Structure 1
Amino acid sequence: MTRNVVVISAGLSQPSSTRLLADQLAAATRSAVGGRGESVDIEFIELRELAVEMAESMVSGGRPTPALSAAQRQVAAADGIIAVTPVFTASYSGLFKTFVDLLDKDALTGKAVLVAATAGTPRHSLVLEHAMRPLFAYLRAIVVPTAVFAATEDFGGENDLDTRVHRAAAELAGLVVADRAGVAGFAQGDDEPGPLGPVTDFSELLRGHDGG
């Protein structure tokens, strides 16, 4: 079965360190999914190419252009997302946030997401935990445990960036390949009692209890 992973890159220049990190994460994810006996299609969305169209959509009541609409469909159809942004003013870039704002509110529900960021200095590394992870948690995505931050000095130097990239990619691959069928007895709409028997309603448990 072929899985689909979409890489969202919010780099502003060409080339950019953001796209470089995105490429590394994509390659590692391809390898990790392949190691699990599956194939994967990886598609890129370069947000800088959609900047004008996103601005027009924001001021025209949310009506997307064909190219923006195609990018939104890519995200909605993906099995997994790699989201990479440069850091601006201690947070994700406005370009990145605008794209997320234009997605359908349920587009990322239950979707596996790997978050990553780039900046000129390691001092911005906490942006992944105080901005990126909460954003995707709010959108009900499943964010992999390892987030990847790369400062300028991390590229081409002796550091653990490659280790972090492959660890995060392996975590994403594990979620993308996993069978997401509901656990017996807990799947939505499952009216049959699970292996532990029927679940007693909480109000029934409290019936007759006087609080003493």
Structure 2
Amino acid sequence: MTTLRIAVVTAGLSQPSSTRLLGERLATATEKALQANGSTARLEFVDLREHAQDLANNLITGFPAGSLRAAIEKVTGADALIAVTPIFNASYSGLFKTFFDVLEKDSLAGIPVLIGATGGSARHSLALEHALRPMFAYLHASVVPTSVYAATEDWGSSGAGGPGLVDRIDRAATELADILDRRPAVRPVDPFDDPIPFAQLLADQRA
């Protein structure tokens, strides 16, 4: 049975956060869909709220601090990504954008991504298509067809989510699981992962 690493990036600012809740729902649904395909998932959550100061420092210095570096490695080393942001002023949050701004070029190339967002009303739902989807396309990620937006009204009085939201979550999760099931994960090869021993380099020079 194949175990796939799925990074779940959420940019909620409050605790508890509806953005984190949507990320959890999408992750659980994806895990369930993968199990139906004969695979298992290892979910790794990255709450950007915890890295806000380090992200600002990274923009200035060009280097991520230890905890932020670990979060970045979770994302760039994953087989798939679930990315969820609150919508502010008809677009993704600054915190969400900053995280993806500090990633190395092509570090998300080829990775399947499920995008989601939360907001106060349904009128902000198109931000997924005019802001998030183009950003991930620019990063050469492979975004699944269904994006998931959850307005306050979608959660219902119980906070469990109405049938419309549940259906969208399940559809998007199934699309992500099917992409992962159809092809092996292809990640960029780091040339420093398996360096040529120094003694061999010397021998080659002498020869």
Give deviations 1:87-116, integer Å, cap 9, x for gaps: 011000000000000111111100000000
TM-score normalized by structure 1? 0.83
Query: Counterpart in 1 of 2:97?
Result: 97
Supply the AA of the counterpart residue of 1:73.
E
Instruction: Name the residue aligned to 2:29.
Output: 28
CA distance in 2, matches of 1:73, 1:15: 25
SS of the aligned residue for 2:16 comes to coil
Counterpart CA distance in 1 for 2:146 and 2:76 is: 23
Letter in 1 for 2:20: R
CA distance in 2, matches of 1:163, 1:45: 25
Partner residue of 1:166?
170
Report the CA distance between 1:174 and its aligned residue. 1.1
Q: Across the two proteins, how many residue pairs are aligned to each other?
A: 181
* 4+ residue runs over 3 A deviation: none
Percent identity, aligned pairs only, is 54
Alpha-carbon distance between aligned partners in 2 of 1:142 and 1:28, rounded to the nearest angstrom: 19
**Which has more radius of gyration?**
1
Superimposed CA distance per residue, residues 164-186 of structure 1 (whole angstroms, 9 cap, x where no aligned partner): 0000000011112222489xxxx
- Alignment counterpart, residue 181 of structure 2, candidates 170, 177, 181: 177
Distance 1:178 1:122, change over 3 A: same
Q: Tell me the equivalent position of 2:59.
A: 58
Number of the residue aligned with 2:7: 6
- Quick check: 1:47–1:95 contact (8 Å CA) kept in 2? yes
Question: Do the aligned partners of 2:92 and 2:131 also contact (CA within 8 Å) in 1?
Answer: yes
Structure-1 residue corresponding to 2:81? 81
Q: Which residue of 2 aligns with 1:204?
A: none
Q: Could you tell me whether the CA contact under 8 Å between 1:7 and 1:42 is conserved in 2?
A: yes
Distance 2:23 2:16 in 1: 12
Alpha-carbon distance, 1:159 to partner: 4.2
- The amino acid that maps onto 1:170 is T
TM-score, structure 2 length as denominator?
A: 0.85
Structure 1 residues 106 and 28, CA gap change in structure 2 (3 angstroms): same
Q: Which residue of 1 aligns with 2:203?
A: none
Aligned to 1:109: 109
CA distance in 2, matches of 1:36, 1:169: 12
3-state SS, counterpart of residue 54 of structure 1: helix
RMSD value, Cα: 1.3
The amino acid across from 1:51 in the alignment is A
Change (3 A) 1:181 1:161: closer
Aligned equivalent of 1:71: 71
Cα distance in structure 1, aligned partners of 2:66 and 2:162: 43
Structure with a larger share of its residues in helix: 2
How far 1:81 sits from its partner (Å)? 0.2
Equivalent pair of 1:3/1:177 in contact (CA under 8 Å): no
Runs (5+) with no aligned partner, structure 2: 187-207
Which stretch of the first structure deviates more once superposed, 17-26 or 151-160? 151-160
